[in-house]
Amino acid sequence: MNWASWSDFLAMGGYALYVWGSYGVVFGLLTMEIVLLILRKRSILRELMRSAARRGLQ
């Protein structure tokens, strides 16, 4: 085990900014990409259903 305590772990031997700055941005942006993809598919489906409804009215 490398760490004596939680605060020791979070301090990263004085490199917290660099280590957490890397991991935070990586996992933040990867999560964002997946969320954006889910939203993109939803909005395509919504638009497809709207245009299908328009065609149905004509």
Partner 1 sequence: MYVTPENTAAGQDRFVGHSSWFRYSSPQTFFPLAGKLAPWFAVAALLLAAAGLYLGFFVAPTDRQQGEAYRIIFIHVPAAWMSMFIYVVMAFWAGMGLTFNTRLSGMMASALAPTGALFTFLALWSGSLWGKPTWGTWWVWDARLTSELILLFLYFGFMALQAAIDDPRRADKAGAVLALTGVINIPIIYFSVQWWNTLHQGASVSLNSAPTMAATMFAGMMVMVLALWMYSIAASLMRVRCIILERERDSQWVAEYASGQT
Binding site residues, partner 1, CB under 8 A: 1-3, 9, 12-15, 17-19, 21-23, 25-26, 29-30, 33-34, 37-38, 40-41, 44-45, 48-49, 51-52
Query: Closest distance between partner 1 and the C-beta of residue 44, in Å?
Result: 5
- How far is the first Cα of the chain from the last one, in angstroms, to the nearest whole number? 70
- Closest C-alpha among 50, 22, 10 to residue 42: 50
Residue nearer to partner 1 on the CB measure, 5 or 40: 40
Query: Closest distance between partner 1 and the C-beta of residue 57, in Å?
Result: 15
* Separation between Cα atoms, residue 46 and residue 40, nearest integer Å: 10
